[in-house]
Structure 1
Amino acid sequence: MSRADKMMDVCLLAGEIMLTYGAETYRIEETLERMAKAAGFVNVHSFVTTTGIFLSFDEVGKGDTMQMIRVDDRIYDLNKVTLVNQVSREFVTGEIDEEVAYDKLNEIAKAPMNYPVWLVHIASGVAGAGFSYLFGGSLRDMLPAFIAGFIVSVCVFKFQEYLKVKFFAEFISAFIGGSVAIGLVYIGVGANLDQIIIGILMPLVPGVPLTNSVRDLISGDYVAGVSRGAEAILTALSIATGVALAIGLFLT
């Protein structure tokens, strides 16, 4: 394998990890260009969308190299984005070479999430209870909000794993969460249904896609910004539709 091919693999692996786990488009492009230029390549150009990465550069005296990869999965773990940024800084400053960088990136890609899944579910329940109280609910509403928030988090993980359709998984999870909240209020566990439902849905709000959309638009990446904004809007619509269906079925 030539040095250009090896460097291409390093850059694309770094970009794939960053794009998969929630990095902004402009940050990925800047990282890939810095790494390629630090390796001595010229005419470096990168173009990143929400589903793909294009990268090309020239090796002096040996012609140009170009490659693209498609990225379909999106999981939000900003810790991995931070780790990739650290590897790129070490490479740019000359602390590590291509081989070491590639090995470190492989370790990051294969590493499990920073927090275990069970802790994420519990945190979602705690967030649901907290938001329910912050939005005007009573202490009595925190328990049903915790239970429903926990169930919603479990459903999102399981449905995404089996259905492979993010928006449909969020729709079903919101429907189940709304139904659980309605059932708990009906049997007298909670008092304020509105505040409970608001609380359990807050962990589902697409904060990272929305933030990245705004940052990409501000930086001039209009294609990525609009597509990420559309993703956030579709997620919001999926959540709203799921809750509306539960309310329509059980409260009318």
Structure 2
Amino acid sequence: MDTRAATARENLQIILDIGEQMLSSGAEIGRVEDSIERMCRVLGAEAIECFAITYVIVVTISGENLPGLTEIRRVDQFDRNMHKLTLLNTLSRDICAEKIELKEARIRLETIDQASASSLYSKMFIFALISLSFTIFFGGSIVDALVSALIGVLIAPIDQFLLNKELNRFVQVFLCAASAGFLSNLAARIGVGISSELVSIGNIMIFIPGVIFTCAIQEFFSNNMLSGLTRFTEAIMLSLVVATGFVFVNVLLG
């Protein structure tokens, strides 16, 4: 492979890195494909074929001064990070406006990845806030809400630990849901006037895949039926896993 082809392939890999992280952060398929096509034109491509679904990105480019290249990228990580997606959108626009070189984009991409990573303490705060808010919303008392928030704080490190172990996502969600169900039942048994159902409903909302479901509906309206069906099925399956985790603990504890 000559130097020109090697450079073009390296640049295409950078573009695919950006597209992969956009997709895993919650971007719709149309946005990912459009961003990749625009960045490839900056690379010098004249003919561009880009196809993306929830788990795969395929790009083929060619041009008068560019060798024909095809790259396939498997997408297997999903963090649904809207802040990260905003930074990635800005990065892709800067590349298209030729404000930065593609090689510089790799450095900036690594910075975005590090800056957008949530710390354990921020996750604990978010889990507590979600649990507390929804427990009150569904009619729980202040005591129920505080207990639910405490369980949210305790679930965050469990979730982070399982995430670091790179377990199957469904197994991870099931174990977190089961842990939350166990703690809510335990709190109800040792506390007076605490409702395990109202405490659990706040903790359940931590794991409900609302963003995935919203993305699925968005894909349907964008005529990306395959990706929409994939994400819709994923949302339904995750919801069933969450429910199974809580029901399993309730049945086990009687």
Same fold (TM over 0.5): yes
Alignment of 1:14-25 (within 5 A): 14-25=18-29
| Deviation larger for 89-98 or 111-120 | 111-120
Aligned to 1:11: 15
1:98, CA displacement in angstroms?
2.0
**Code of the aligned partner of 2:153:** F
Residues 1:104 and 2:111 aligned together: no
- Please name the residue that 1:150 is paired with: 153
Aligned partner of residue 175 in structure 1, secondary structure: helix
Counterpart residue number, 1:123: 126
1:6–1:133 CA distance, 2 compared to 1 (3 A): same
1:6–1:98: 8 Å Cα contact kept in structure 2? Answer: no
Deviations 1:151-196 (A, max 9, x none): 2332222223225211111111111111110111111255222211
Q: Does 1:174 align with 2:177?
A: yes
1:229 maps onto 2:252 in alignment: no
**Contact residue 149 and residue 201 of structure 1 kept, 8 A:** no
- Once residues 193 and 220 of structure 2 are traced to their aligned partners in structure 1, the CA distance between those partners, rounded to angstroms, is 42
Across the two proteins, how many residue pairs are aligned to each other?
250
Report the Cα offset of residue 38 of structure 1.
3.2
In the alignment, which of 89, 92, 97 is matched to residue 93 of structure 1? Answer: 97
When normalised by structure 2's length, the TM-score is 0.91
Structure 1 gaps, min length 5: none
Q: Is the 8 A contact 2:128 2:149 kept in 1?
A: yes
- Given the alignment, which residue of 18, 27, 44 partners 1:40? 44
- Structure 2 unaligned blocks of 5 or more: none
Q: Give 2:74's aligned residue.
A: 70
Once residues 70 and 192 of structure 2 are traced to their aligned partners in structure 1, the CA distance between those partners, rounded to angstroms, is: 60
Q: Once the two structures are aligned, what percentage of the paired residues are identical? A: 26
Whole-Å Cα distance in 1 between the matches of residues 134 and 94 of structure 2?
A: 40
Q: TM-score, normalised by structure 1?
A: 0.92
